Structure 1
Amino acid sequence: MISLKRQSFSNSRTQLATEVDFDIQQKKRVGILGGTFNPPHIGHLIIADQVCHQLGLEKIYFMPSANPPHQDEKKAIEANHRLHMVELAIEGNQRFDVEKAEIERGGKSYTYDTIVKLKEEHPDTDYYFIIGGDMVEYLPKWYKIEKLAQLVEFVGVNRPGYNLLSPYPIIWVDVPSMDISSTSLRKSLEMNCPVNYLIPRKTLEYIWREGLYQNGR
C-alpha cells in the first residue's frame, strides 16, 4: 500500500509538472503596434507583417492612441476616424486586429498604464511592443519606462539615420526600408497629390469619402 501511494503521489507530481509546463508553452505571444495612424499606410502593414512572421507571433494588434504624450505635438484627426481607417487597412488579415484600449480610455495615452491594464485582463499573454528606430532615443523619456521594460519585450524596426543603441533591451527586426510617413501623406492629400498604393485602397476611399485631410480637415 505504501508503495502504491508513493507511486500515485509521484505520478501526480509528474502530471502537475507537465500541466505547468504545458501552460507555460501555451502562453500567447502577441505584438502591439501603437501610433496615431494619421493616416495608416503600407509602411505600418509591412512592419506588422514582418515582425509577426519573423518573431512567430500569434497576432499583431494595431493600437491607435488617443493623445500621445511623449511625441512632439502633431495635429491628429478625430479618434473615431483613425480607428476606422485602421480597421479598413487590416481588413482580411487574420493575424491583424485592433486594440481600442487607449481610444476608449481617452485623454493622454501612457503606454505603461495601457500595458498594465492589458496584462491584468490577459495574464496568459506576453506582449511585444513594436517601436520604430526613430522612437528608440525617446524611450528614456517614457512614463515609468523602467517598469514598462519589465512588462513587455520592445521590438525595434530599423529606420535609416537613427541610432540603434538603447539602455533598454530591444529585439531588432529588419524590415524593407521605405521613405514613407503619415506626415508626408497628409501633405500630399492636402495638395490633392496621388497616394495610390501608399495607403490601402479601402482606407483611401474612406479618406476621400469623408473629406479627411482636405480643406484643413
Structure 2
Amino acid sequence: MKKVGILGGTFNPPHLGHLIIANEVQTHFNFDEIWFMPNQEPPHKDNTTAVNSLHRLKMVERAIADNSLFKIQSIELERSGRSYTLETMKLLTEKYDHEFYFIIGADMVEYLPKWYKIEELIQLVTFVGVNRPQYDQHSDYPIIHVDVPNIGISSRMIRERVKEGKNIRYFVPNTVIEYIEENRLYET
C-alpha cells in the first residue's frame, strides 16, 4: 500500500517553507509521494486576499516541478464552496487504496478541536504535525510530530512584500516569482 503525505493549503503563494516541510516529512517517513492539495475555500480563513484557484494551482505546479515525489491533488479545487478535510478524505479513501498522512503546522494542531467532525476525520488519516514558531504542538488528538527547520516565511508576508514592491527572492522558487510577475499578482 502506498504511503502518501498530503500538504493542504491555500498556497497563496506557495513558498520555500511549504517545500521544506514537504521534503522533511517525506524524508522522515520515506513516503512514496507528497500531494500538495490547494483548497478552494478553507473554512478557517478569510478568503478575500486569495488569487483565483487557477493561479494558485499553476504556482504550485511550478514550485514542485523539480521533485518527482511531489504531486498535485486538485480534488478540492474541483468542488465549489468551503473545503472540509473530512469530505475530501472520504473521497480520496474511496478512490485510492493508500495510507494517508495529513501534514499540518503547529498553528493547525492548536486549531484541531475546531475542525469539522474531527473525531470522524482521525479515523481516516494520520496527522503529522510540524513545528512552527510561536505555536504549541501539544494536542489531545493523535499526532505524529516531525521537527522541521523553523522557517519564518508566510504567504501573507510574501503578498505584502510584492504589494510594497519589495524583493521576494529566496522566499519562493524563481519559477513562482516569474509567474507572479508575469501575471501581476498581489500588486494591489
TM-score where L is the length of structure 2 = 0.97
1:112 aligns with 2:69: no
Deviation of residue 74 (structure 1)? 5.0
Q: How far 1:105 sits from its partner (Å)?
A: 1.0
Number of equivalent positions: 188
Q: Is 2:155 aligned against 1:182?
A: yes
Describe the superposition over 1:94-143 as per-residue Cα deviations: whole angstroms up to 9, x where unpaired: 00000000001121100000000000000x20100000001111111111
Q: Give the superposition deviation at 1:71.
A: 3.2
Alignment pair present for 1:192 and 2:165: yes
Give the 3-state SS of the residue equivalent to 2:133 in structure 1: coil
Which one scores higher on RCO, CA 8 angstroms, separation ≥ 6? 2
**In the alignment, residue 208 of structure 1 is paired with which amino acid?**
E
**Mapped contact 2:8–2:38 kept (Cα < 8 A):** yes
Q: 1:98 aligns with which of 72, 94, 112?
A: 72
Q: Distance in 1 between matches of 2:125 and 2:38?
A: 18
Q: 1:171 to 1:74 in 2, by over 3 A?
A: farther
Residues 101 and 141 of structure 1: CA distance in aligned 2, closer, same or farther (over 3 Å): same
Structure 1 residues 74, 179: CA separation in 2 closer, same or farther (over 3 Å shift)?
Answer: farther
What secondary structure is seen at the aligned counterpart in 2 of 1:177?
A: coil
Q: Percent identity?
A: 53
**1:140 corresponds to:** 113
Q: Which has the higher helix share?
A: 1
State the one-letter code of the partner of 1:43. Answer: G
Q: Is the 8 A contact 1:47 1:175 kept in 2?
A: yes
- Name the Cα RMSD after superposition: 0.9
CA distance in 1, matches of 2:168, 2:45: 25
How is 1:27-38 mapped onto 2 (pairs within 5 angstroms)?
27-38=1-12
The residue matched to 1:207 in structure 2 has which SS?
A: helix
Counterparts of 1:203 and 1:95, CA distance in 2: 19
Asked if the contact 2:86/2:121 (under 8 Å) is kept, the reply is yes
AA of the residue aligned to 2:50: A
Distance 2:110 2:47 in 1: 17
The TM-score, its normalising length taken from structure 1, stands at 0.85
Gaps of 5+ in 2: none
CA contact 1:40–1:89 (8 Å) conserved in 2 = yes
1:152 aligned residue: 125
Residues 70, 141 of structure 1: 8 Å contact kept: no
Unaligned runs of 5+ in 1: 1-26
Structure 1: which amino acid aligns with 2:99?
A: D
**Any conservation in 2 of the 1:32–1:61 contact (CA below 8 Å)?**
yes
